[in-house]
Structure 1
Amino acid sequence: MDAINWGDAPTWLGAVFAAAAAAAAVWTLKSQRDQIDEQRVFIAEQSATLALERAALLDAAGDRRRAQAETIQWDTTESGMALILTNHGRSPVTDVAMEHPYRPIELCSVWGSETGDSRRADFFGLRLDPTMQPYAVLGSGKQVGCQQPDSSDPVVATFTDDAGVRWRLDQHGKLDEVPPTP
């Protein structure tokens, strides 16, 4: 038998180690790709979860934002001669104004037996004292009113809540946010 050609053995050993290194590099790349794919799936799931949480938070914020405005309600007197806007909430609203599409409305502060203050009541148990529009602050439990117009068109009240959002409430209870004016 012939002797091993040592000149070729180191070349073969280098080739075997190079092949092993190439296989390890391919395995590492595949492993990294698998990790990246897993991370993409995780990030997609996380993004979907965050989108749902954000939507829920926005809904909750919208509900909280609207909650104070929903405590402002219209009432009518027993005689039906006056409309009363009452703040049933804990926080005051500001810049309260009333308007009618075709007739001027005189905003009035409300006094009388229906409000628990009988010292200024008139014959009907209620007194409407004219006041300036907009009414600056309508505190918790306070009322403002106006005479009921002879028209079927609703009286509309506008007011600003404690978050600075302007609202529109018609006599039938329809509540809308007023878009801010630039």
Structure 2
Amino acid sequence: MSAIDWGDVPTWLGAVFAAGAAGAAVWTLASQRRQISEQQEFIGEQSALMAEQRQNLELERAELRAVAEERRVAQARQIRMYQQALGGQPDGVGGITGGPDHWSVTVQNPSDAPVHQLEVRFGTAYLASDAWEWPAYEPSKMRASVGDRLALPVYVLGPRRAVRFSSQTWPPATVHNNRPVLFFTDDNGLRWRLDSHGQLEEAPAEPGA
């Protein structure tokens, strides 16, 4: 039996340990990469989930804003204004063409709550000259008998009630230059503007209001 070359043992052991250390390093590196990959995947999933939740939250907020806006304008959209320049023919938008000298305007509140501070302006500078209680609007009642005369501006118009406004008189050729615009405050305290073509918008604050 030949003698063991002990001089090679340390070298052999060093190689074994080096190989082991290298293997451990490779395993550790692979493990770290796997963990990083798993963390990145988890972060990606969480980011996607957060983005989805944020999108759902934005949609819910948009729906809530839409519902709030609908509630905000719900009563104002029910208010109706029927206008006629007396003695003319229907113009298809609720007014009358060819009237002799003034406007009469019927305002109806078909909602379940009152509206307040009603006034009708004609053109840019003229206010209604008179107002009376009036039956709820029906075409057959456009010439119905008037009720009590009311102070201007009309402080309150109750649910399912109507009021008739009249303008001053003008030369017949200028009547339609002064089409009526209704201003009123809803039961939530918002001020609105409704023109003779049915366009409704929130009225800007008036100076000193």
Please indicate, yes or no, whether the TM-score normalized by the shorter chain is above 0.5: yes
* Matches for 1:95-134 after TM superposition, within 5 Å: 95-100=117-122, 101-111=124-134, 114=135, 125-127=145-147, 129-133=149-153
Structure-2 separation of matches of 1:49 and 1:97:
44
**1:84 alignment partner in structure 2:** 106
Gaps of 5+ in 1: 116-122
Residue 127 of structure 1: SS of its match in structure 2? Answer: coil
Gaps of 5+ in 2: 88-102, 137-142
- Among all aligned residue pairs of Structure 1 and Structure 2, give the percentage whose two residues are the same amino acid: 29
Structure-2 separation of matches of 1:124 and 1:34:
77
Structure-1 separation of matches of 2:201 and 2:41:
52
Q: Which of 192, 198, 202 does residue 167 from structure 1 map onto?
A: 192
Larger Rg computed on CA atoms:
2
Kindly state the Cα deviation for residue 44 of structure 1 after the two structures are TM-superposed.
Answer: 2.6
Q: Which of 155, 158, 166 does residue 183 from structure 2 map onto?
A: 158
Residue 97 of structure 1: SS of its match in structure 2? Answer: strand
Q: Which of 19, 32, 52 does residue 45 from structure 1 map onto?
A: 52
Structure-1 separation of matches of 2:17 and 2:144:
116
Partner amino acid for 1:177? E
TM-score by length of 1: 0.74
Partner amino acid for 2:163? V
Kindly state the Cα deviation for residue 28 of structure 1 after the two structures are TM-superposed.
Answer: 0.6
**2:103 matched to 1:57?**
no
Structure-2 separation of matches of 1:26 and 1:105:
82
Cα RMSD after superposing both structures: 3.2
**1:145 alignment partner in structure 2:** 164
Partner amino acid for 1:86? Q
Partner amino acid for 2:151? T
Structure-2 separation of matches of 1:37 and 1:72:
53
**2:24 matched to 1:17?**
yes
Kindly state the Cα deviation for residue 40 of structure 1 after the two structures are TM-superposed.
Answer: 2.2
Kindly state the Cα deviation for residue 27 of structure 1 after the two structures are TM-superposed.
Answer: 0.6
- Give the 3 Å change call, closer, same or farther, for CA 179–54 of structure 1 in structure 2: farther
Task: Return 28-37 or 79-88, whichever deviates more.
Answer: 79-88
Structure-1 separation of matches of 2:78 and 2:132:
18
TM-score by length of 2: 0.66
- Give the 3 Å change call, closer, same or farther, for CA 71–110 of structure 1 in structure 2: same
Contact 2:119–2:127 (CA under 8 A) maintained in structure 1: no
Count of residues in Structure 1 that have an aligned counterpart in Structure 2 = 172
Contact 1:128–1:146 (CA under 8 A) maintained in structure 2: no
**1:120 alignment partner in structure 2:** none
Any idea what the Cα deviations from partners look like across 1:112-147, whole Å, max 9, x if unmatched? Answer: xx35xxxxxxx96113514032x3322212223211
Contact 2:81–2:107 (CA under 8 A) maintained in structure 1: yes
